[in-house]
Amino acid sequence: MAVKNQLGSFKIESLECCIHFVSTFTFAAIKIFKDKIRVDFSLDHKIESKLIKKYIQMSSSRYLYYIDIISEDEIDGKLMEWIQEAYNKK
């Protein structure tokens, strides 16, 4: 699994609604739809990108981002960089 190789130690929690990636907190989640996979993660700053489907400002220093993946080639270095950043927020 590319994410685990790149990030290091974390748990994968399989819930009825989604899959959570958890270190000391949930740093990313994946939800499976019929025609896409939705990835969400939170960061402490706002980012601008066409990849971001939606974001919610949870507080002055917390943003929750949603990215929809339709094809495997959309899982790129930028997405992995954001997930790495979310993981490193410990």
Spell out a b/e string for 2-40, using b for 16 or more CB atoms within 10 Å of the CB, else e.
Answer: ebeeebeebeeeeeeeeebbebeebbbbbeeeeeebbbb
Domain holding 43, by residue range, is 2-87
Residue-wise pLDDT tens for the chain (90 aa)? Answer: 455 566 778 888 888 889 999 888 889 999 999 999 999 999 999 999 999 999 999 999 999 999 999 988 888 788 889 999 999 885
pLDDT of residue 70: 93
Backbone angles phi, psi at 2, to 5 degrees: -60, -40
Q: Give which of 25, 87, 36 is closest to 66, Cα–Cα.
A: 36
How many structural domains compose the chain?
1
Q: Give which of 61, 89, 90, 87 is closest to 3, Cα–Cα.
A: 87
pTM of this structure = 0.82
